[in-house]
Amino acid sequence: MAKRIFSGIQPSGIIHIGNYLGAIKQWVELQNNPPTGEDEAIFCIVDLHAITVRQNPEQLRKNTLSAAAWYIACGINPQKSDIFIQSTRPEHTELAWILSCYTQIGELARMTQYKEKTQKLQNDLGDTGFIVKAAPSAGLLTYPTLMAADILLYQTTTVPVGEDQVQHVELTRDIAKRFNNLYGQTFTIPDYSTKISGKRIMALDDPSKKMSKSAASEYNYMALSDSPEKIRQKIRKAVTDSGTQVKYEKDQPAISNLLNIHSEISGKEVAELEDEFSSKNYGEFKEALADTIISHLAPIQSKYNSLMQSPTELEKILKAGSEKVASTAQKTLSDVKTKIGLLNL
């Protein structure tokens, strides 16, 4: 059986280095060096997940196209991998509904992301300028069943996600096993490997929280689109710890996060960086980190800018991707419907 890789990002804001280091960079490596030599890779822009919290419609459209441009600029090659927008394949919502009937409310309510996003909604006044403070929607609760549908529709074997999404993949595995036990082999049980997941990148303004697109302050995240001046400013402003040494320590979460970012971008081990900066202060380390990020992002940003000059070309790539994955999605959905007793007329 061919191995299939599936993953996605929500166009809920501007893609940041957490998304890049935690997910996209690994996708590119998998695409270019598939473990079995015969893998297919599907990378989705999960816009239906993004609407589980309020989005400004115009901004959502822009972010969706922009996500496709970032995927390609970072190295996803549409000749090798399929890139498409989730909402263009109706099989996702249809299967998600069916799977929600095989998922317990308690399983969904205990998901960390649900708890965190619910709390955030209740504390925030909202920063989209479109709709303010809201109670959590049913969609926010059932988010993992839509994610399960995304993964299971394609008989996915491998899901490269950041560590924060592992809990959702585990639930996907449980739902798939439950369904297979009831109706016979239907879904491939997907796997994730922490080896192919990047480290969790924490917020620049609060290292106890993960870097997040939808954060209220832009100083939380480093967007892939940030200008060199902005990158330098954000790194200078990034919180540091009470110590003075550039050392990775559990009780020094801010400098440890900055070391992680440097290491993931430069490819140098954290220990090597500790040596390199052993006689330097935080300020000097931060300048070096800013330089590293700026030079790493420069070619990616230039490719992104040129892709965004031709939105119709991007739309063509996304349409072709959607058509290419259609038959697998339709086959799985049809099998599921037959098995549970729906008339496939």
Residues serving a catalytic function are: 117, 210, 213
Q: Which residues contact 193 (CB under 8 A, 6 or more apart)?
A: 158, 160
- Interface positions, 264-293, toward ligand AQP (CB under 6 A): none
**In whole angstroms, how close is the CB of 335 to ligand AQP at the nearest point?**
27
Kindly tell me the sign of the dihedral angle through the C-alpha atoms of 274, 162, 7, 120: negative
Q: What letter represents residue 58's amino acid?
A: E
Crossing angle for the helix pair 138-153 and 311-340, nearest 10 degrees?
90
Tokens 């969904």 correspond to what residue?
Answer: 108
Residue with tokens 């990020």: 293
Cβ closer to ligand AQP: 161 or 171? Answer: 161
279: its two tokens: 């006689």
* 156 binds ligand AQP, rule: CB under 6 A: no
212 binds ligand AQP (CB under 6 A): yes
Could you tell me if 265 and 21 are in contact, meaning their C-beta atoms sit under 8 angstroms apart? yes
Of 18 and 78, which has the nearer Cβ to ligand AQP? Answer: 18
Q: Is 213 in the site for ligand AQP (CB under 6 A)?
A: yes
Q: How near is the Cβ of 102 to ligand AQP at its closest, in Å?
A: 23
Q: What angle do CA 190, 335, 83 make, to 5 degrees?
A: 50
For the chain, the maximum distance between any two Cα atoms, rounded to a whole number of angstroms, is 72
The pattern of x and - marking residues 175 through 204 that bind ligand AQP according to CB under 6 A reads -----------------------x-xx---
Q: Is 54 in the site for ligand AQP (CB under 6 A)?
A: no
Q: Give the CA radius of gyration of the chain.
A: 21
The H-or-E segment that residue 83 falls in is strand 81-85
Q: Of 325, 330, 339, 328, whose CA–CA distance to 102 is shortest? A: 339
Output the smallest distance, CB 185 to ligand AQP, in A.
28
Instruction: Count CB-CB contacts under 10 A for residue 187.
Output: 25
For ligand AQP, the closer of residues 201 and 255 by Cβ is: 201
10 touches ligand AQP by CB under 6 A = yes
Judge contact between 175 and 42, C-beta under 8 A: no
Least separation in angstroms between residue 161's CB and ligand AQP is 4
Which of 160-168, 175-183, 225-233, 269-277 is the region at the interface with ligand AQP (rule: CB under 6 A)?
160-168
Question: What tokens were used for 92?
Answer: 């996702």
Could you say which of 64, 165, 257, 332 contacts ligand AQP (CB under 6 A)?
165
**89 touches ligand AQP by CB under 6 A:** no
Q: CA torsion 143→149→155→156, rounded to 10°?
A: -20
SS3 content of the chain, % helix, strand, coil (to 5): 55, 5, 35
Select from 161, 171, 235, 238 the one that contacts ligand AQP (CB under 6 A). Answer: 161
Q: Whole-number minimum distance, CB 164 to ligand AQP, in Å?
A: 5
18 makes contact with ligand AQP (CB under 6 A): yes
The closest of 305, 24, 340, 308 to 160, measured between CA atoms, is 24
Does 210 engage in binding with ligand AQP (CB under 6 A)?
yes
25 binds ligand AQP (CB under 6 A): no
Question: Of all residues in this chain, which one has the CB nearest to ligand AQP in the complex?
Answer: 22
Q: Given candidates 83, 211, 223, 261, which one binds ligand AQP under the rule CB under 6 A?
A: 211
Under the binding rule (CB under 6 A), the answer on residue 207 touching ligand AQP is: no
**CB-wise, 216 or 308, nearer to ligand AQP?**
216
Q: Phi then psi for 5, rounded to 5 degrees?
A: -100, 135
By CB under 6 A, residue 144 contacts ligand AQP? no
Residue 270: CB minimum distance to ligand AQP, A: 16
CA distance 306 to 177: 44
23 in contact with ligand AQP (CB under 6 A): yes
Residues that bind ligand AQP (CB under 6 A): 9-10, 12-13, 18-19, 22-23, 161-162, 164-165, 198, 200-201, 210-214
